[in-house]
Amino acid sequence: MTLSFSGTSWSLPYVDESAVVKLAQSYGVPELVARLLVARRVGLSDVDAFLQPKLSQHFPDPFSLRDMDKLAARVTQAITKKEKIGILADFDVDGATSGAILARTLRHFGVDPLVIIPDRVKDGYGPNNKCMEQFAQHGCTLILTLDCGITSFIPLAYAKELGMDAIIVDHHEPEGGQLPVSFACVNPKRADCVSQLSMLAACGVTFLASVAIQNEMKRSGGWTGADFPMKSLLELVALGTVCDMVPLTGPNRLFVKHGLPAMGQGANPGLVALCQVAGIKGVPNLMHLGFALGPRINAGSRVHESTLGYKLLVTADPAEVLNIAFLLNDCNESRKGIEKTMIEQAMVQIERDRLTDHPIIIVDHQDWHPGLSGLVAGRIKERTGKPAACIAYVSDGFDGQEGRGSGRSVPGLNMAALFQSARSEGMLLKGGGHAMAAGFTICPTKVVDFKSYAKNHALKHCVVLDGPLQRTVDVAASLRSAQPDMVRLLETSFGPYGQGHSEPLFALQSVRIDFVDMLKDQHLRLQLVDATGGRRMKAMLFRAAGTPLGNALLAAQGTVIDIVGKFVLNEWQGRVTAEMHVEDAGLPGMVQGFSQSYALAS
């Protein structure tokens, strides 16, 4: 078996040629799109919903979510009786968009909620007793936790003691099947929720809650005014959904498909300002959301103030949001420098202690910024292929310290389950999240024991895959076929892409690396040439420094390789070209080993 430079083998999924022809003829789609649909196992009856999901036909029923009826009724009661409502939202993009969605909905019905975004550094993730006391002091009788709360047993019990009803709106994994004390808990990952909406981000759940609230307000007679234009919230749902990297399937695909075009209409002053600062013109695409807008919103809570992202998305004054957008941009630049230093120090620690020999890599440092622990864990995972966690230390608010950790995993190890298990064993103060990304709080005296516990847990519970990792390639292509029209066709018909519906991977056979260099000490820029020398294409490998693939490509200038990546559009000075974002590469013959191939027509 031939392996790539990164140690993987490539395969092409079997495609029934007769099914491709039938689908192309039945739905009038290009052969390439039909081939991808068949390869992704999209059935004939699902093609319309997949290619052109419609709000009128494919919108999910909000009340299919467990406790949504209780949420809508309680919030309606609070609105009509003029109770003070509090919102506690997470500090990331999903939390900021969730907070903005619910706050804008409540404002339409005459309610000005008290919104609290916990400080990422001082407070850590999720509700805490101090926040509950703040809500009570301001006279709140109802609070809603957004993108958090599902494991906040003590703070939500305290809220009840303070005389407040709490409603959880979350999408993280419950702990051991147990739920905190609450008036209602709307979370599609509850064991007793049969909605089949577990793919939703918190912003999606919050959006459905807003729809349910409006429906209940009208049904109960509590509102006779104009409806709130719920479609205007779809751009926020799309932003939060893409940035939280949840599966882009079902309703998520519907929300993003309709939310992306809405961003180009300029309805949200904050997004208009952030696009301006980020240099984005026209309608933002998925890369803009994931690599330009999302990081800037997150940067506020990482290095400055947790409320900045939320404020950007709810503020109507164009001058004020532009100031916030510039501040977020400055925060993002600061974040890059701090992150670079942390990664360098982490890699020294990993090499010194030979941590790559461990089933999970855990690093910690007294001088690290706790707001960047998740990013650093993610970079370690990318470089080593191992699940990783990063711990930074902050004051515990008394006379000591506590560790703030974030983990990023790989298929086979559930990071949230690891942290929840460690919490139940007394290793952690807090712990939870998703299978692939989770966070925790730890007493410094427990760090050594936790590292040992995590290592043993990973050895026991990690599902080890036999043989090398497999990379599924969608189509064997050629440089001649990779034209802007083809890339644009895929974006408009087969996109948008995300978890659960990844961007198609294309394989190029026997192309020469005519030129390669390193940009900003981390990204590779390549010039690819086909066998005849007649076609050229620019290619990029991001965050390549120090990786086996990056090192191999740097040494391969002038040689012929097989390469796999995604075709994207690059717009520069009014000229649009297709380029490749590289995922993998290997010696010639990798593509020839496919059991089936399809060369795109030139």
| pLDDT tens profile 83-117 | 999 999 999 999 999 999 999 999 999 999 999 99
Contact 526, 516 (CB under 8 A): yes
Alpha-carbon span 264 to 235, nearest angstrom: 9
DSSP 3-state of 465: coil
**What is the pLDDT at residue 477?**
85
Alpha-carbon span 17 to 99, nearest angstrom: 48
Please report which confidence band the pLDDT of residue 466 belongs to, taking 50, 70 and 90 as the band edges.
Answer: low
| pLDDT tens profile 338-351 | 999 999 999 999 99
**What is the pLDDT at residue 600?**
47
φ/ψ region of 136 (left if φ > 0, alpha if ψ in -120 to 50, else beta) reads: alpha
Alpha-carbon span 295 to 362, nearest angstrom: 24
- Tell whether the model's pLDDT for residue 469 goes beyond 80: no
Q: How far is CA 50 from the centre of its chain?
A: 21
**What is the pLDDT at residue 596?**
44
Alpha-carbon span 550 to 524, nearest angstrom: 7
- Tell whether the model's pLDDT for residue 464 goes beyond 70: no
Q: At residue 565, what is the residue type?
A: G
- Tell whether the model's pLDDT for residue 1 goes beyond 80: no
Instruction: Name the token pair of 363.
Output: 């690093």
Please report which confidence band the pLDDT of residue 481 belongs to, taking 50, 70 and 90 as the band edges.
Answer: confident
Contact 311, 319 (CB under 8 A): no
Residue with token string 């692939």? 436
**What is the pLDDT at residue 543?**
86
- Tell whether the model's pLDDT for residue 486 goes beyond 90: no
**What is the pLDDT at residue 31?**
85
Q: Where are the alpha helices (DSSP H) in 220-293?
A: 234-243, 251-263, 269-278, 286-288
| Bond before 496 cis per omega within 30 degrees | yes
- Beta-carbon contacts of 510 under 8 Å, excluding residues fewer than 6 positions away, are 531, 560, 561, 562, 588, 591
**What is the pLDDT at residue 589?**
86
DSSP label of 147: S
**What is the pLDDT at residue 574?**
79
Highest mean pLDDT among 1-10, 312-321, 492-501: 312-321
CB-hemisphere CA count at 13 Å for 105?
Answer: 30
Sign of CA dihedral 316, 317, 319, 325: negative
**What is the pLDDT at residue 383?**
87
Phi and psi of 220, rounded to 5°?
-80, -5
Per the prediction, the chain carries an average pLDDT of 91
**What is the pLDDT at residue 599?**
45
Helix-helix angle 318-352:373-384, to 10 degrees: 50
Q: Over the range 53-68, which residues count as b (16 or more CB within 10 Å of their CB) and which as e?
A: beeeebbbebbebbbb
| pLDDT tens profile 32-44 | 888 899 988 888 8
Residue with token string 């000005």? 112
Phi and psi of 115, rounded to 5°?
-110, 125
Please report which confidence band the pLDDT of residue 207 belongs to, taking 50, 70 and 90 as the band edges.
Answer: very high
CA neighbor of 208 nearest in space, from 90, 316, 55, 311 = 55
Task: Look at 150-154, 343-347, 400-404, 557-561 and tell me which has the smallest mean pLDDT.
Answer: 400-404
| pLDDT tens profile 586-597 | 999 887 655 444
Please report which confidence band the pLDDT of residue 399 belongs to, taking 50, 70 and 90 as the band edges.
Answer: low
Query: CA-based Rg of the chain, rounded to a whole angstrom?
Result: 25
> How many beta carbons lie within 10 A of that of residue 404, not counting itself?
25
CA neighbor of 267 nearest in space, from 212, 230, 307 = 230
| pLDDT tens profile 546-565 | 888 999 999 999 999 999 99
Please report which confidence band the pLDDT of residue 271 belongs to, taking 50, 70 and 90 as the band edges.
Answer: very high
How far is CA 211 from each of CA 114, 190, 310, rounded to the nearest angstrom?
Answer: 20, 21, 20
